[in-house]
Structure 1
Amino acid sequence: MNADLVYVHLETVSNLILSYGISTRDFASALKRFPNHLLLLPPVDPDAALDTHTGFNTVSGTEEIQTYFSDKRKIARKWLDFRQSLYLEQLTPQEIAELLYLGHANTHLASPFYYKLQNDYVYLSLPDQMVKTYYRHLDHFYKVLNHSLKRHLQEKIPDTWFLFRRRASVADIDPVILRQLQPVFIDGALFAFQEVGLRQREIHIPIYYLNSRLKIVDDEWLNASQEKVAELVYDQSVQKWRLSVINESIFAQNLF
């Protein structure tokens, strides 16, 4: 799979994000406050902390959760957060069965946000480095996306492209700009870092419209059917981002 791109598809009914190129590191870096507890969906590790009521592994405490997120050996991750351990004891057999289905089928039967658990997130690793995430508050996703896009830019662009070589000082992307991309996300958008260009003091990141709802794509991400509909532009001289729209009709057709 290509490491020089970020793919985002948004399903607005359940606040589901299907993505590629957004790492666990991006997710963890964007959180202002870590969850108190994680409930890990099967397979179960018998040597790790285990909740006897659900039969699932748990991770609790800021330090332990940070370690879990930063462990590069854990490629497959499937979890949701919960507020208090006491809440797990209140889950019914039906709700536990729904969690098993969530981990097995990588999709929800009912709402992915459980009243008893008070979870804000569901994180599901998929094959080929794709990830499904559910966000109770969609604004949290835009914070994660900001971190991911900045990281890809900093990793892709040579030092000589940055003014005074201040690679680490790239400004945050205004969430208003990222929310403007929501109509494109609904059908699938691709940030093509392999085609990043430098024009005077501006770095241009092409954004392609894939028009493939929840389609798991292969290595051929870009072909003649994909259209470049916008560019995310970083002006280094003022350290600000802007969105340059190329095809207004694509942005207008999914407005709701």
Structure 2
Amino acid sequence: MNSDSKIREVVQLKQNGNFKDVIYVHQNETLQYVMSYGLEFRDFSQNLPNPLNHLLMIKHQFDHGSFNMNTMMEYTNKKEVSKLAGDNIYSYGDFCWIDFEEVDGLDQLSGQELAEILYLGHTKQSLNSPFYSKLNNRFAYLAHDDGWFNKVYYRYTNDFYSMLGNSIPKKLLHQTGEKSLKRLLPSQKITGLPPIPTEVIYTIKEKIKEGVAISLEKTVKGRGNLKVPIWVMGDYMHMDSMYEDYQVRSSKQPYAHFVFDKKAKEWSLHIN
């Protein structure tokens, strides 16, 4: 495939939203961040074990919020976070923020700390730790074309695994057309799926540190179960390259499956 064809394919993929049918995650445990594809801010914010509080908006196009004079940036409160989750964040282009507990913490940030935060949003790299005691932030969320390229720093690793385990079943339920659960289970009405327990996700932790693709679009119906395939992919910075490689690898046997037992209503992991 030549470069022009690749560009057209990526543009079409973004326009029709098919990139949401695959979740790619790669965890850098040492630097405390996760690179992802297929997970949007809506997925992130609605599936954390504890809700977001305030967000300091580094790069955004959100029309609601308040202005802080010390940082010369806008911020949102807890109620506005839900409005933000309903916005078309993908259209923003760059979307970067860090959370914080109290507004007073913004007024205590030094010039050096503000410079680090601006650098974080501009380069999507941290000069020092992206976690500030004055803010007590749990995250630094750095996205371009939200859902296509996301880099999130996590103070607590369990927040990531919990969010991922909650997101997969919900995204599976919202699949439409030929990829929907109605296609797999035409005679059954499924209104909900339980989260994948954190301990089940942890069983592939070492592979997540290599980089894995979890394919919602290739979920299959087994005997009394649903099977969501997982392929080990490697480390990618460019998600168009990742998706191109996924298309090749997904034609082969997956490394493992998340398996939902319909009778027991429980998730497990099966390594092939």
Give the drift of 1:114.
Answer: 0.9
Structure 2 CA distance, aligned partners of 1:119 and 1:222? 37
TM-aligned CA distance change 1:180 to 1:81, over 3 Å: same
Given candidates 4, 29, 50, the residue that maps to 1:12 is: 29
Counterparts in 2 of 1:11-30, with a 5 A limit? 11-30=28-47
Residue 58 of structure 1: aligned partner: 75
Do the aligned residues in 1 keep the contact of 2:25 with 2:35 (CA within 8 Å)?
Answer: yes
Residue 202 of structure 2: aligned partner: 179
Q: Does 1:69 align with 2:95?
A: no
User: What is the identity, as a one-letter code, of the residue corresponding to 1:79?
Assistant: W
Structure 1 CA distance, aligned partners of 2:198 and 2:149? 23
Do the aligned residues in 2 keep the contact of 1:102 with 1:109 (CA within 8 Å)?
Answer: yes
* 3-state SS of paired residue (1:86): helix
Do the aligned residues in 1 keep the contact of 2:29 with 2:209 (CA within 8 Å)?
Answer: yes
Structure 2 CA distance, aligned partners of 1:46 and 1:200? 49
Q: Which moved more, 1:12-21 or 1:42-51?
A: 42-51
Q: Which moved more, 1:29-38 or 1:189-198?
A: 29-38
Q: Does 1:217 align with 2:244?
A: no
Given candidates 168, 172, 184, the residue that maps to 2:191 is: 168
Give the drift of 1:166.
Answer: 3.6
TM-aligned CA distance change 1:44 to 1:157, over 3 Å: closer
* 3-state SS of paired residue (2:31): coil
TM-aligned CA distance change 1:101 to 1:200, over 3 Å: same
TM-aligned CA distance change 1:3 to 1:32, over 3 Å: closer
Structure 1 CA distance, aligned partners of 2:80 and 2:189? 33
Structure 1 CA distance, aligned partners of 2:169 and 2:22? 12
Structure 2: unaligned runs, 5 residues or longer: 1-12, 14-18
Residue 106 of structure 1: aligned partner: 124
Counterparts in 2 of 1:79-90, with a 5 A limit? 79-90=97-108
Do the aligned residues in 2 keep the contact of 1:6 with 1:192 (CA within 8 Å)?
Answer: yes
Q: Does 1:130 align with 2:149?
A: yes
User: What is the identity, as a one-letter code, of the residue corresponding to 1:223?
Assistant: V
Do the aligned residues in 1 keep the contact of 2:121 with 2:142 (CA within 8 Å)?
Answer: yes
Structure 1: unaligned runs, 5 residues or longer: 247-256
Q: Which moved more, 1:231-240 or 1:149-158?
A: 149-158
**How many percent identity over aligned positions?**
27
Q: Does 1:159 align with 2:182?
A: yes
Residue 269 of structure 2: aligned partner: 243
Do the aligned residues in 2 keep the contact of 1:7 with 1:191 (CA within 8 Å)?
Answer: yes
Structure 1 CA distance, aligned partners of 2:211 and 2:133? 30
TM-score by length of 2: 0.81
TM-aligned CA distance change 1:163 to 1:235, over 3 Å: farther
TM-aligned CA distance change 1:142 to 1:168, over 3 Å: farther
User: What is the identity, as a one-letter code, of the residue corresponding to 1:180?
Assistant: T
Residues 217-240 of structure 1, C-alpha deviation per residue, up to 9 Å, x if partnerless?
Answer: 314123259872111111111111
TM-aligned CA distance change 1:48 to 1:37, over 3 Å: closer
Give the drift of 1:33.
Answer: 3.8
Give the drift of 1:136.
Answer: 1.0
